[in-house]
Amino acid sequence: MTNRSTTSVPAVHGTREIQPDAAFERGLAEHLRTRHDASGLMGLYGRFVHGESDFDAMMRRVVLRALVRSMGDGVTVGRGVVFRHPETFEIGSGVFLGEQTMIQGRVNGTCRIGDRVWIGPQAYFDARNLVIEESVGWGPGAKVLGSTHTGEPPDVPIIETDLEIKPVRIGAGADIGVNAVILPGVTVGRGAIVGAGAVVTEDVKPSSITAGVPARFLKDR
């Protein structure tokens, strides 16, 4: 007979104590910022991006701190994490960036990631105007699209038409399921759940459960 029992274990990421980063890490980040321009820092980051050692992980964190607008303590940067325009990023404390995550910023854009956000591997963010509030869980492979081509005029290739950038907001404590897609202009309310594989085209109200393609309201939590 198949064992269908459910096992419950304590949460880890959301409850762990955030330890202050060592003073020498902050000092090294500041030193690197004064010695290298953005291109040089990205080249330096590339030396450690795939490394498995604790030193590699520390240097990913140090170089990221040197690149971004602001960053808190206890940030984990997994292997293969890739950034574009990190100078527009504001990253809180205790953030976890899973392996092979891609964050695509924009010149003069906004990308704010709040405290204790957990981002699963292979996530993608078109972070042109993106705010993720604190304690959000982001499933592996889930994506944000922050812009779309107008498609006008219709007699030219769509890729040649102007981009419309629309803000995406993810409220505190929300949970975004594996491989979900959040489309431009969407706000996911505080404490809401978006189901795995959902394609979210409209705002999700706080403390609700939404799923499907396109995503539809199922019930309140």
Note the pLDDT tens digit of each residue in 10-35: 888 888 889 999 999 999 999 999 99
pLDDT for 142 equals 98
pLDDT at 53 over 80: yes
Average pLDDT over residues 69-83: 97
| pLDDT interval class at 3 (50, 70, 90) | low
How far, in whole angstroms, is CA 220 from its chain's centroid? 25
Q: Where is 56: in which H helix or E strand?
A: helix 54-67
CB neighbours of residue 77 within 10 Å: 27
pLDDT for 22 equals 94
Give the phi and the psi of residue 186 in degrees, each rounded to 5.
-85, 140
Contact at 8 Å (CB) between 180 and 168?
no
Measured between alpha carbons, how far is 218 from 20 in angstroms, rounded to an integer? 41
pLDDT for 136 equals 98
- Residue 132: both structure tokens together: 């993720």
What is the DSSP secondary-structure string of 99-125?
TT-EEE--TT-EEEE-TT-EE-TT-EE
What's the pTM value of the predicted model, to 2 decimals?
0.92
